[in-house]
Amino acid sequence: MSNTPALGERPFSGIGLGEESRQLLALAREFARDRLRPGARERDQNEESVDSEIMAEMGDLGFFGLRVPEEYDGLGLDVITYLRILEELAFGDPCPALSVSVHNSLPVEILCKQGTEEQRRAWLPLMATGEVLAAFSLSEAGAGSDAASLLTQADCDGEGGWILNGEKAWVTNGAAAGLTLMFARTDQPGDRRRSKGIGAFLVPGGLPGLSAGKKERKMGQRGSETVTMSLEDVRLGPEHLVGESHKGFQYALESLEGGRLGIAALALGIAASAAEEAFRYSAEREQFGQAVRHFQGLEWILGEMSVKLEATRGLLERAARARELGDVRARRLSSAVKLFASEAAGWITRRAVQVHGGYGYSREYAVERMFRDSRVTEIYEGANEIHRSLAARLVYRERNVSA
């Protein structure tokens, strides 16, 4: 190793940040540096448990209330600042950052847009502090990309309430959640209406008949809790239905636009972290009498990493701005940036391993874990193949070309 000075502090993603945004990003960066990054390896190795101490600290710092409006005790941040904070958290460890993203981007958003004032008052203040961690449950074993084919059933109980039965899959935060936004069929087996026969329900944790399976053993993001959930005659009052009983799938799709922005920010954080490791190692590692960063082959890889990071940040900011303004292109751009960011993360983490040579293949070096953590960003919140199709179809839709 050479005596090359350590890399200087990396700049924040945003350019021309206001003082409040800078302070929030500095808080997130400090927490990621001092609390998330040092424990990421241990969380990866101890995948059977959830780091409850870290989750509690994130609640105390307000990370679970980033998108909760101030009137419900949250921070009420704009989308762009929220995504930059997610990038900082994911730079430290994408697993706790994923819990923050799912909680804020999906249940919080649907409650804010579709919930009654009573529902918002009952749940959002608790969600803002992290006292109640929220989960989002749409997928099932046989309903992944074709989510509208889900089979979990919600039947009226004759008194205005509902009885839920079924099996849900791939639920992030599932076992620890104090509240799960659950999607179930409100139509009947003899009269299926696909996406127009699904309702959204607020399912509190601990109800009779509700149970979580064991944590899935995964390739990456092992510190994030992913479970199956079973519902056996779970009874809910009428106050647990969100919005109209047949529009749940519509609500899910609308919130997933925001969810995909969150996943893009997570992928960006992973990629930035791997690039940081690659730049640092290339400056320190010497071969043939000089730091390896001076060899053109590696220099080109490092340069390409930098370009991909900046291109991702630019597209993410554009997609976030479109969502905030209600631009017609918002849905397409959310798919585009999720696709672009996840594949950029895959490219960067793979090359970061290569830059490290044999050490990159060792679990003693963080890039091996980052490579594994990046892989799922191309799968969850919609597989990238689906987003490629959506990108094409939505261009036609924006230009009023019918199917």
pLDDT at position 363 over 70? yes
Tokens 């930059």 belong to residue? 84
From the CB of residue 379, how many other CB atoms can be counted at a distance below 10 Å? Answer: 14
The Cα-based distances of 378 to 95, 285, 353, 392 in angstroms read 15, 31, 18, 18
Confidence bin at 355 (pLDDT 50/70/90) = very high
Q: CB under 8 Å to 397, separation ≥6 — which residues? A: none
Model confidence pLDDT, tens digit, residues 106-118:
999 999 999 999 9
pLDDT at position 342 over 80? yes
pLDDT at position 380 over 50? yes
Q: What is the pLDDT of residue 396?
A: 94
**CA–CA distance, 95 with 24 (Å, rounded to integer):** 20
**Would you say 89 and 101 are in contact if contact means Cβ atoms under 8 Å apart?**
no
The Cα-based distances of 97 to 131, 221, 357, 364, 379 in angstroms read 17, 10, 29, 23, 17
Catalytic member of 19, 381, 385, 398: 381
Q: To the nearest whole number, what is the mean pLDDT of the chain? A: 95
**Would you say 24 and 98 are in contact if contact means Cβ atoms under 8 Å apart?**
no
pLDDT > 90: what percent of the chain? 91
Q: What is the pLDDT of residue 57?
A: 97
Strand partners, 235: 163
What tokens were used for 27?
């808080």
3-state class (DSSP) for residue 22: helix
| 381: annotated active-site residue | yes
**Would you say 115 and 127 are in contact if contact means Cβ atoms under 8 Å apart?**
no
Would you identify the CATH topology of the domain 19-133? Butyryl-Coa Dehydrogenase, subunit A; domain 1 (1.10.540)
- DSSP string covering 110-159: HHHHHS-HHHHHHHHHHHHHTSS-EEEE--BTTBSSSGGG---EEEE-SS
pLDDT at position 191 over 90? no
pLDDT at position 169 over 50? yes
Q: What is the pLDDT of residue 1?
A: 40
In this structure, of 4-8, 165-169, 304-308, 360-364, the range with the lowest mean pLDDT score is 4-8
In the predicted model, what is the mean pLDDT of residues 327-345? 97
Tokens 């630019």 belong to residue? 314
pLDDT at position 83 over 80? yes
Out of 3.60.10.10, 1.20.140.10, 3.20.20.70, 1.10.10.10, the CATH code matching 250-398 is: 1.20.140.10
Helices (H) and strands (E) in the chain, counts: 12, 10
Q: Which of 366, 356, 361, 362 is nearest to 298 (CA)?
A: 356
**Would you say 146 and 75 are in contact if contact means Cβ atoms under 8 Å apart?**
no
**Would you say 57 and 32 are in contact if contact means Cβ atoms under 8 Å apart?**
no
* Domains of the chain, residue spans: 19-133, 135-247, 250-398
In the predicted model, what is the mean pLDDT of residues 358-381? 97
Q: What is the pLDDT of residue 190?
A: 84
Q: What is the pLDDT of residue 4?
A: 44
CATH class entry, domain 135-247: mainly beta
In the predicted model, what is the mean pLDDT of residues 45-70? 94
Q: What is the pLDDT of residue 151?
A: 97
DSSP conformation class of 217: -
Confidence bin at 121 (pLDDT 50/70/90) = very high
pLDDT at position 196 over 60? yes
Q: Which of 316, 317, 291, 293 is nearest to 305 (CA)?
A: 293
Q: Which amino acid, 172?
A: T
From the CB of residue 296, how many other CB atoms can be counted at a distance below 10 Å? Answer: 7
In the predicted model, what is the mean pLDDT of residues 169-181? 96
pLDDT at position 148 over 50? yes
pLDDT at position 65 over 60? yes
Torsion of CA 288, 293, 295, 297, to 10 degrees: 130
Enter the pTM of the model: 0.95
The Cα-based distances of 69 to 75, 127, 155, 207 in angstroms read 6, 11, 33, 28
3-state class (DSSP) for residue 256: helix
**CA–CA distance, 249 with 194 (Å, rounded to integer):** 9
**CA–CA distance, 101 with 82 (Å, rounded to integer):** 9
pLDDT at position 282 over 80? yes
Q: CB under 8 Å to 394, separation ≥6 — which residues? A: 329, 331, 332, 335
Confidence bin at 2 (pLDDT 50/70/90) = very low
Q: What is the pLDDT of residue 3?
A: 43
**CA 49, 91, 181, 187 torsion-angle sign:** negative
pLDDT at position 334 over 60? yes
Confidence bin at 403 (pLDDT 50/70/90) = low
**CA–CA distance, 278 with 302 (Å, rounded to integer):** 8
Model confidence pLDDT, tens digit, residues 29-48:
999 999 999 999 999 999 88
